[in-house]
């Protein structure tokens, strides 16, 4: 439209007279869409614009609107193409390993790379037996207490995504009723997040959580992209879990839960190589059960199995987490004690020979190393 004279306009509720330097004439031309508007103006001269000027301006505005729309569409296509490239790179990482811990870290790193707004992230797995959720991979967090966090499926937005089996977009954690209220400052600073459960055949394995320290950092597009990636990642994670279970079964004695001969030799070679390379002490204890055949012959093999299980439980109570306990064969067992010399292994040998339990021997085994 053409406004012949803007000397008298209503602005902010006040009738204005035409000043000497006022915009005297204005031609406003609507574009071809409702999202944009443009104007042409002529100072100090009324009745300047004609119908021909309006038609020319309208044509220019139409072309400008088309150009702006095309630019926005191009930017959207470019953004989508970038997301697809990130998704492709992320998916490629899933084919590189069957080692569960390595895979979980790579999955998380790929997810963070695919969503630029993500500053930090965590990958959590759920344990059906205990009902607990544990953090298995981290990105961007430096406080060691974060990795040690373990919580029930009833607390936190990650647990909520796992419990309900649906993706969550958290625009502002401070406004959420499930925000973190603990004493870890890194976690308290998180303002927004997107969380996607890892679901396979109706079973929720865990969740991927991407976090940011500013509110409203993530969009619905980010959430959709993470959901697409998670669908592929879940299958890879499950395959790695099955591979780990099969491998674990291959090196663990099914009766006692100790390493079998294969597992003992496989892990033992690593410990020996490490001790030699870094010149660290390493001790080995080998023992068997006296008159075990008599137990089997008198009370039966089922009772003999119970004796072996109880024995291993008692021995484990005297060992550290880094010690290796293996069933060499029958009633013969081996204990490998890293970072422990001959003198340090004596309390352990006494504990095993006498069959006593109690935590004192665990401390003795772990604290008396020969460092010659």
Same domain, 210 and 270: no
Whether the Cβ atoms of residue 108 and residue 122 lie closer than 8 Å to each other? yes
Which pLDDT tens digit goes with each residue over 77-86?
Answer: 766 666 667 6
Residue 8: give the domain boundaries: 2-69
Whether the Cβ atoms of residue 16 and residue 9 lie closer than 8 Å to each other? yes
> Where residue 344 sits, what CATH number does that domain have?
3.30.70.270
Give the pLDDT confidence score for residue 321 in this predicted structure: 81
Same domain, 226 and 105: yes
Dihedral Cα 219, 224, 227, 231, nearest 10 deg? -160
Above 80 in pLDDT, residue 2?
Answer: no
Same domain, 119 and 237: yes
> Where residue 199 sits, what CATH number does that domain have?
3.30.450.40
- Any domain includes 274: yes
Higher pLDDT, 345 or 238: 238
Same domain, 117 and 210: yes
Same domain, 348 and 270: yes
Which pLDDT tens digit goes with each residue over 3-43?
Answer: 555 555 544 444 444 433 333 333 444 444 444 455 555 55
Which pLDDT tens digit goes with each residue over 213-249?
Answer: 999 999 998 999 899 889 888 988 998 888 888 888 8
- Any domain includes 254: no
Confidence of residue 328 (pLDDT cuts 50, 70, 90): very high
Same domain, 165 and 224: yes
Give the pLDDT confidence score for residue 222 in this predicted structure: 92
Same domain, 106 and 209: yes
In percent, how much of the chain has pLDDT > 70?
Answer: 73
Same domain, 105 and 199: yes
Give the pLDDT confidence score for residue 138 in this predicted structure: 95
Give the pLDDT confidence score for residue 33 in this predicted structure: 42
- Any domain includes 150: yes
* Final residue in a domain of this structure, among 69, 84, 106: 69
- Any domain includes 82: no
Global pTM reads 0.58
- Any domain includes 76: no
- Any domain includes 111: yes
Same domain, 185 and 112: yes
Above 70 in pLDDT, residue 161?
Answer: yes
Same domain, 292 and 355: yes
Same domain, 162 and 297: no
- Total domain count, the chain: 3
- Any domain includes 326: yes
Same domain, 108 and 238: yes
Q: Say how many C-beta atoms besides its own lie within 10 A of residue 83's C-beta.
A: 19
Give the pLDDT confidence score for residue 42 in this predicted structure: 54
């Amino acid at each position: 439209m053409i406004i012949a004279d803007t000397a008298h306009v209503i602005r902010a509720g006040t009738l204005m007279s035409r000043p000497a330097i006022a915009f005297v004439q204005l031609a406003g031309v609507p574009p071809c869409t409702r999202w944009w508007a443009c104007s042409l103006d002529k100072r100090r001269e009324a009745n300047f614009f004609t119908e021909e000027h309006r038609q020319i301006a309208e044509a220019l505005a139409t072309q400008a609107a088309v150009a702006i729309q095309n630019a926005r569409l191009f930017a959207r296509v470019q953004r989508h193409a970038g997301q697809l490239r990130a998704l492709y790179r992320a998916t490629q990482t899933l084919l590189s390993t069957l080692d569960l811990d390595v895979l979980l870290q790579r999955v998380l790193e790929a997810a963070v790379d695919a969503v630029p707004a993500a500053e930090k992230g965590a990958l959590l797995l759920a344990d059906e037996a205990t009902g607990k959720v544990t953090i298995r991979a981290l990105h961007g967090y430096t406080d060691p207490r974060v990795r040690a966090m373990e919580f029930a499926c009833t607390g936190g937005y990650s647990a909520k995504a796992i419990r309900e089996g649906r993706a969550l977009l958290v625009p502002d954690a401070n406004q959420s009723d499930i925000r973190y209220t603990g004493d870890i400052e890194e976690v308290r600073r998180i303002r927004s997040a997107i969380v996607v459960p890892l679901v396979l055949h109706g079973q929720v394995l865990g969740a991927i959580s991407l976090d940011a320290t500013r509110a409203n950092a993530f969009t619905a597009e980010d959430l959709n992209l993470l959901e697409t990636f998670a669908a592929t990642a879940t299958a890879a994670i499950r395959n790695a879990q099955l591979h780990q279970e099969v491998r674990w079964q291959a090196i663990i004695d099914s009766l006692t839960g100790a390493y079998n001969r294969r597992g003992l030799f496989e892990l033992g070679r690593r410990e020996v190589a490490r001790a030699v390379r870094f010149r660290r002490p390493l001790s080995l204890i080998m023992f068997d059960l006296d008159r075990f055949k008599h137990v089997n012959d008198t009370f039966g093999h089922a009772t003999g199995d119970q004796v072996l299980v109880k024995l291993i439980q008692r021995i484990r109570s005297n060992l550290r987490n880094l010690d290796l306990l293996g069933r060499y064969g029958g009633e013969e067992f081996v204990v490998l004690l890293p970072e422990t010399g001959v003198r340090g292994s004596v309390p352990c040998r006494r504990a095993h020979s006498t069959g006593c339990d109690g935590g004192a021997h665990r401390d003795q085994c772990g604290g008396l190393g020969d460092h010659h």
